[in-house]
Amino acid sequence: MIMKQLIAATAFSVVASQAIADGVVTVPFDGSFDDATFAVETAIVGQGLIIDYVSHVGDMLNRTGVDVGSDKQIFSTADIFIFCSAKISREVMEADPMNIGYCPYSIFVAEDESGVMVGYRTYPDGPMQKVQALLEGIVKEAAGN
């Protein structure tokens, strides 16, 4: 099953960068950071989901670098959209209540020197692949692939 999804993830974007070893899938976004965040938000809401929180990680990293003794800029900006799916969450937690540890779900948008990217973390084989398929679909829609 995971192989079929990996093939599908590769097929939806030839230029997609899959950092599977690190547990993260990223897709380049052809446009501005603001366009990418709008596209991600629209794709999440379009699935009938509610965004619980947007974490402005890029702002935090840029603001606190000096405080922690670093002058390295990791991202010029980065946001993480946090949300859940009542239907899918129920399905995966009925299969294994400890899948609660994976909830809520998230998709990030980040910009660094190489450009804007959209991504998500990968999930283990089994029921959590339903979540991964949801995230893959949202990212695919947002990236226009």
> Does 58 map to a domain?
yes
> Does 127 map to a domain?
no
14 token code pair: 């030839």
Instruction: Indicate the pTM of the whole model.
Output: 0.83
Q: How far apart are the first and last CA of the chain?
A: 22
> Does 20 map to a domain?
no
Residue by residue, pLDDT tens for the chain (145 residues) are 444 443 344 444 333 444 444 799 999 999 999 999 999 999 999 999 999 999 999 999 999 999 999 999 999 999 999 999 999 999 999 999 999 999 999 999 999 999 999 999 999 999 999 999 999 999 999 999 7
Give the three-state DSSP class for 42.
helix
Question: What's the total number of domains in the chain?
Answer: 1
> Does 48 map to a domain?
yes
> Does 91 map to a domain?
yes
Range of the structural domain that residue 99 is part of = 32-114
> Does 27 map to a domain?
no
